[in-house]
């Protein structure tokens, strides 16, 4: 695909530039976020004291296995946690203002305008009874005072930007007319419709086959260059993060284990969990070998170990691991939560 | 029969085979001059109509209903007399074979003990039956969508409260309550009868609607709509309702038949429509006094039209269910 042929994004109607940052240069700061779910058997602390921040235009990935709290973290930023779940503590500062204090109505203005999200399943995230063009145009019309025709023109332009061929025709298609990859492009077009400051991608390629995955990731990379939006990528695939992000947050059991640049994580992981993750990845040239695994299983979310959640599976576990380690910032700037350092 | 939810269960349980559609049902093919095959896409409405047309019984039902409606609308043209002008001397005339425009046309279905022709009863009676059926069903569904949609979408304590109220309504004995309310409140007014039907019948339909909303609110497209800042009201009515529309339309259609039957029933029991307004149920009620004397045509014709109407509506509902089902596409 010729990326150079694409029209510059948002050339038609660029609203007045918004101040995307708070005073300290961070656009989004998640501070000690706690999200709990009430279940029949007790309270599950799905996210338990997570902190990280995102600078404008930067790219950060959250990696973790199922149940690590990565998706819940992203949904919290959108304030899309439904009962029986709730945000039990912490702050989510967006441009210096705490989103957890916003009313539902105020959040509706933020969602789809300042912060957008692309979901995992492009099959089911589009409404089957409306054309894809109508659905993207609606997002524009919800947030901008434009006519139906203007919104539709903008939609055609967006479709062109995300590499959908013959966009004038495709806007009149229903979701079932499009392939998975095309639908995910539509979802990305929808997410970018109002030029958000932050784009959250929640496992955007999990439901797609490998070649399409590569295309979509390539598209997101290109778009990020053109649009200058910050990207928060949620995935369980270290390879995807390595490809896409500058910084990585590794999560386990609802807590942050390690935060560093992609290079640091790949070349020299510090936290035992990150080491285990990297060691378990198959590499080219591996033949007739068993894959490395991290011994043990993910702890029961109802019965998390006190202290470090990884301790029961950790080869370096010590007595002191029964209390959660404090944040340790190493000389090279990376952040680790581990008693080893 | 009366409870729309009841009808819906029948709809959900039996699956009619979907009509097999060739490629022409999806797209028309045209060969353009440069030998290029172009697919012309059909709109949703066209697709639905194509599927509906394949359903013969439903088409027959639709045509019959259209004819019945026209009969009601043009009753003054079809029947030479109305309920206030009649020949009281020509009582108990048996039905005879005749043709429109003939001098004895009005007695094609015979006449009753008062000299009212059954042709008058049937044609003018269609007005009340169809109007009560249609308006009551529409009213029921509007209430059901608002109540059931809100409860199903928001869930939690709103759902719990609304559904407990619904449960209470569902425990009320329908027919005795209907008779009481009709007797004390409606006093023969068609509009009040419609209102009573609506108020008594929404709970079943609301449960049905709530069920669909419960499913659709779990769907990712609902969450996706929330994630782009769409308001709850807009999601309830613009995003989820069109998806839940097929079962609602089918339930509404079948409810029409139920309400026509219920209206005839309360007329028959003497607490419904009052003369000089005429209805099929009223005609049936009058016929029973003389039924033993061999005046079979009194009961036959209004009863027959009730049967045809109800049957047509049920066929129509069946066909609509198949045609509206998005999953049977292709």
Q: What is the mean pLDDT of residues A100-110?
A: 88
pLDDT tens digit sequence for A71-91: 899 999 999 888 888 888 888
Quick check: A103 contacting B, CB < 8 Å? no
Quick check: B224 contacting A, CB < 8 Å? yes
pLDDT for residue A9: 45
Quick check: A168 contacting B, CB < 8 Å? no
pLDDT for residue A176: 86
CB within 8 Å: A129 and B242: yes
Quick check: B15 contacting A, CB < 8 Å? no
User: Quick check: A202 pLDDT over 80?
Assistant: yes
Q: What percent of chain B has pLDDT over 70?
A: 84
Residue ranges of alpha helices (H) inside chain A are 70-77, 104-110, 132-143, 148-161, 167-170, 180-192, 210-227, 238-244, 262-267, 272-279
CB within 8 Å: A111 and B221: no
pLDDT for residue A217: 85
Chain A, 200-229: which have a CB under 8 Å from a chain B CB?
Answer: none
Architecture field, domain B4-16+55-328? Orthogonal Bundle (1.10)
Greatest C-alpha distance within chain A: 66
A188-192, A283-287, B269-273: range with lowest mean pLDDT:
A283-287
pLDDT tens digit sequence for B42-54: 666 777 777 778 7
- Phi first, then psi: give them for residue B106, nearest 5 degrees: -65, -20
Mean pLDDT, rounded, of chain B: 79
Q: Is the peptide bond before A9 cis (omega within 30 degrees of 0)?
A: no
Q: Are strands A85-94 and A255-261 parallel, antiparallel or unpaired?
A: unpaired
Q: Report how far residue B225's alpha carbon sits from residue A116's, in angstroms, rounded to the nearest whole number.
A: 11
Is residue A8 situated within a structural domain? no
Contacts of A121 in chain B (CB under 8 A): 220
Q: Report how far residue A293's alpha carbon sits from residue A277's, in angstroms, rounded to the nearest whole number.
A: 8
Contacts of B40 in chain A (CB under 8 A): none
pLDDT tens digit sequence for A258-316: 998 988 888 888 888 888 888 887 777 777 777 777 877 777 878 888 888 888 888 88
Quick check: A264 contacting B, CB < 8 Å? no
Q: What is the mean pLDDT of residues B217-223?
A: 86
What is the total count of domains within chain A? 1
CB within 8 Å: B224 and A187: yes
Is residue A341 situated within a structural domain? no
Is residue A215 situated within a structural domain? yes
Find the CB nearest B243 among A110, A112, A128: A128
Is residue A17 situated within a structural domain? no
List A30's β-bridge partners, or say none: A52, A92
CB within 8 Å: B219 and A109: no
Q: pLDDT-derived band of residue B136, with 50, 70 and 90 as boundaries?
A: very high
Query: Are the C-beta atoms of B124 and B112 separated by less than 8 Å?
Result: no
Q: pLDDT-derived band of residue B27, with 50, 70 and 90 as boundaries?
A: very low
pLDDT for residue B243: 84
Query: Are the C-beta atoms of A334 and A259 separated by less than 8 Å?
Result: yes
pLDDT tens digit sequence for A126-154: 888 888 999 999 999 989 888 888 999 99
Q: pLDDT-derived band of residue A24, with 50, 70 and 90 as boundaries?
A: low
Find the CB nearest A119 among B44, B220, B326: B220
Domain spans of chain B, in order of start:
4-16+55-328
- Residue A238 sits in a domain whose CATH number is 3.40.50.300
pLDDT for residue A2: 41
**CA of A72, closest CA in chain B: separation in Å?**
14
Total residues found in chain B within this entry: 330
Is residue A1 situated within a structural domain? no
pLDDT for residue B2: 46
pLDDT for residue B210: 92
List A258's β-bridge partners, or say none: A250, A336
Is residue A15 situated within a structural domain? no
Q: pLDDT-derived band of residue A15, with 50, 70 and 90 as boundaries?
A: very low
Q: What ipTM score was computed for the predicted complex, to two decimals? A: 0.76
pTM, whole model, 2 decimals?
0.73
Contacts of B242 in chain A (CB under 8 A): 127, 129-130
**CA of B23, closest CA in chain A: separation in Å?**
15
Quick check: B218 contacting A, CB < 8 Å? no
Is residue A317 situated within a structural domain? yes
Domain that holds residue A322: 23-282+291-336
């Amino acid at each position: 695909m010729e990326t150079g042929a694409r029209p510059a994004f948002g050339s038609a109607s660029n609203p007045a530039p918004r101040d995307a940052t708070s005073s300290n240069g961070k656009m989004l700061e998640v501070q000690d976020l706690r999200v709990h779910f009430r279940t029949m058997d007790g309270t599950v602390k799905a996210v338990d004291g997570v902190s990280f921040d995102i600078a404008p235009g930067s790219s950060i990935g959250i990696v973790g296995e199922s149940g690590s709290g990565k998706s819940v973290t992203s949904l919290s930023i959108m304030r899309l946690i439904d009962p029986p779940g709730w945000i039990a503590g912490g702050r989510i500062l967006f441009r210096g203002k705490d989103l957890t204090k916003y009313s539902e109505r105020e959040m509706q203005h933020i969602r789809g305008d300042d912060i957008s999200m692309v979901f995992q399943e492009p099959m089911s995230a589009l409404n089957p009874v409306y054309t894809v063009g109508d659905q993207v145009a609606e997002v524009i019309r919800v947030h901008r005072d434009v006519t139906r025709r203007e919104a539709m023109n903008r939609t055609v332009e967006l479709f062109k930007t995300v590499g959908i061929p013959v966009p004038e025709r495709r806007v009149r298609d229903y979701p079932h007319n499009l392939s998975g990859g095309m639908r995910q492009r539509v979802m990305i077009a929808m997410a970018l419709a109002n030029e958000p400051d932050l784009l959250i991608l929640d496992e955007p390629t999990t439901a797609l086959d490998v070649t399409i995955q590569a295309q979509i990731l390539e598209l997101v990379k290109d778009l990020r260059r053109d649009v200058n939006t910050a990207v928060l990528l949620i995935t369980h695939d270290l390879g995807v993060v390595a490809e896409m992000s500058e910084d990585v947050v590794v999560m386990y059991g609802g807590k942050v284990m390690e935060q560093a640049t992609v290079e640091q994580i790949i070349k020299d992981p510090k936290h035992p969990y990150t080491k285990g993750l990297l060691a378990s990845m198959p590499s080219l040239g591996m033949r007739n070998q068993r894959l490395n695994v991290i011994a043990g299983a993910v702890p029961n979310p109802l019965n998390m170990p006190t202290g470090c959640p990884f301790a029961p599976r950790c080869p370096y576990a010590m007595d002191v691991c029964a209390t959660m380690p404090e944040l340790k910032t190493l000389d090279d700037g990376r952040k680790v939560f581990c008693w080893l350092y | 029969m009366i409870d729309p939810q009841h009808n819906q269960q029948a709809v959900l349980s039996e699956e009619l085979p979907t009509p097999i559609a060739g490629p022409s049902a999806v797209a028309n093919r045209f060969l353009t001059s440069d030998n290029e095959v172009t697919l012309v896409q059909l709109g949703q409405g066209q697709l639905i109509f194509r599927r509906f047309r394949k359903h013969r019984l439903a088409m027959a039902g639709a045509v019959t209903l259209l004819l019945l409606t026209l009969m009601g609308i043009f009753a003054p043209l079809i029947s030479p007399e109305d309920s206030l002008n009649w020949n009281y001397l020509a009582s108990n005339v048996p039905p005879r074979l005749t043709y429109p425009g003939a001098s004895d046309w009005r007695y094609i279905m015979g006449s009753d003990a008062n000299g009212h022709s059954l042709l008058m009863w049937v044609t003018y009676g269609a007005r009340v039956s169809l109007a009560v059926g249609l308006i009551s069903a529409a009213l029921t569904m509007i209430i059901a969508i608002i109540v059931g949609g809100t409860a199903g979408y928001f869930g939690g304590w709103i759902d719990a409260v609304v559904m407990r109220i619904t449960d209470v309504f569902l425990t009320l004995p329908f027919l005795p309550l209907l008779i009481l309310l009709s007797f004390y409140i409606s006093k023969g007014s068609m509009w009040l009868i419609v209102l009573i039907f609506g108020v008594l019948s929404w709970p079943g339909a609301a449960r049905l609607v709530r069920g669909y909303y419960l499913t659709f609110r779990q769907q990712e497209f609902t969450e996706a709509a929330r994630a782009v800042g769409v308001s709850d009201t807009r999601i309830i009515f613009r995003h989820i309702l069109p998806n839940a529309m097929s079962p609602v339309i089918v339930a509404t259609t079948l409810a029409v038949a139920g309400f026509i039957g219920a209206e005839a029933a309360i007329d028959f029991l003497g607490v419904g429509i009052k003369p000089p307004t005429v209805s099929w149920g009223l005609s049936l009620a009058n016929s029973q006094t003389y039924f033993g004397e061999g005046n079979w045509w009194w009961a036959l014709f209004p009863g027959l039209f009730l049967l045809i109407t109800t049957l047509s509506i049920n066929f129509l509902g069946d066909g609509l269910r198949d045609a509206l089902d998005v999953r049977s596409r292709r």
